[in-house]
Amino acid sequence: MAIFLKTVDIITTVLTIIILIRVLVSWYAGPKNVIYRFFDWLTRPVLAPLRRIIPRVGRLDFSPLVAIVIIQLINFLLFHFLR
């Protein structure tokens, strides 16, 4: 069980970091940039469903924030209930 929990912790941490990097890259690079497209490709499976639910507020996209909160909540709940 400890290996499963550690694996989940690593996956959620890496996914959170990738989403944060994508947000930072989106501030400085345009959609034609290779780095932007790479991180967009990595995070699209997580962020696309949220973007259908959460509308943009002007130029602000809150789907990465909501995704990080959901990912961390899942991580917390798994650790809380499986320990």
pLDDT tens digits along 10-39: 999 999 999 999 999 999 988 899 999 999
State the pLDDT confidence band at 52, using cuts at 50, 70 and 90.
Answer: very high
Q: Integer distance in angstroms from the first to the last C-alpha of the chain?
A: 8
Calculate mean pLDDT across residues 57-82: 92
Q: Would you state the structure tokens that stand for residue 21, as one six-digit string?
A: 């990097």
Give the chain's domain count.
1
pLDDT at 43: 95
Residue-number span of the structural domain to which 49 is assigned:
2-82
What predicted TM-score, i.e. pTM, was given to this entire model? 0.89
What pLDDT does 35 receive? 94
Q: Looking at the predicted structure, is the pLDDT value of residue 53 above 80?
A: yes
